[in-house]
Structure 1
Amino acid sequence: MSTEQGPDSTAGEKTEPQAPRPKRRIGLVALVAALAYAVDLVTKIIVTATLEGEEPVRILGGLVYLQLLRNPNAAYGLDIGGTWLLAVIAIIVVGVIIWFASRLRSVGWAIGLGLVLAGALGNLTDRIFRAPGVLHGHVVDFISVLEPNGEFFPVFNAADSAITVGAALIVLLSLLGRDYDGTVVARKTKKRSSGDGDDGEDGDGHDASGQERDR
């Protein structure tokens, strides 16, 4: 009996180089957060300087009204606890996002979390530096939709908008299977025809694991 073995079947195979991982997106988070925070800060400065004690300003044919309201509650006027508690929650949110930002490799996630970070920082700034005191400050709101005084929809500000858009973007990316590390989670669908047997074989001659069966 010959002991000579055939050539190694794997000797001639070439391993494909793995695709490089997407780069970290912490810089993009910082850029988006800085821009959105600046928009919130500047608009609040303008509003407090020009709309204090004034009647609501009607723009866009009545689609939007600009008026100054000072809100002790959460975003969109939601009352979920004392002002100090909202400030503490905002501090925790900011800390978690900053800690998590170094793990991001997805552009979409970086933009979304950057917007949420900016919104949390914007309203937290009001709660720390505005009257009536530290951690009890009232947030400056000034955008009212369709009707003044929040009769149709609660009065909000640019920070609230940033939080809403950022959170919606993150939810959308999650539903599409796009993870924070830049990977895409494939959705597995299993189709079985009515004539399939119980041996786990599908209509294309593949077993339940998705591998082609020997015939």
Structure 2
Amino acid sequence: MPIPSIHGVHKRSLLRDDVYQSLRDAIVNGTFAPGERLKDTELEQWLGVSRTPIREALLRLERAGLAIAVPGRATIVAPFDLASTISAQQVVAAMHELAARLVVPSLTAEHTTEMEEANARFAMALQDQNVDAALLADDDFHGVFVARCGNTVIPEVLEQSTPVLRRVERVHFASFAARTSVSQHDEIIRFARVGDAEGAARVSRENWLSLRYALPE
């Protein structure tokens, strides 16, 4: 299994979440290819952590649909699966729709300004064809609603369902079609500023469902 050339990128005090995110990102960006075996010893060398947080991260990746445990053999990177990706997309769209509906009535001008700044960074990243920066900015934009919606189940469900969409998001954000997300974000902000929860919820859902254009036929 080829691994990144830089070893020990994480110290032993690394949080479990950081190990998971590193492995997740390596799968999503293609460093680890579909069907590739994920070997504990090589992952330990790369991440600079013990086997325990790696095994915990692999279990989370399996639950997220990005890895498959082959009994008695190994854990491999899951191949792209259209049906599970569509299912995850539907759940994620519904969660962001609900978050918008819950949070907009109590949203402040400070929060919408935060969304505007995130969307400006998103637009710039798309223009620069910087997919990683676009993903971060998009997360920051939608995170304003999720972090303040008051429903703790929503982020838990999103953590479970969103990772499998990352592959599709990377394809989408590398295409010209992603520019429509910038205007959709602007529309969400406009509805949020006037307290229109239903309008913001509807466009939030449409925004996530627009990923269907990046799905293979």
TM range (shorter): under 0.3
TM-score (norm 1): 0.27
Q: Which has the larger radius of gyration?
A: 1
Which of the two has greater helix per residue? 2
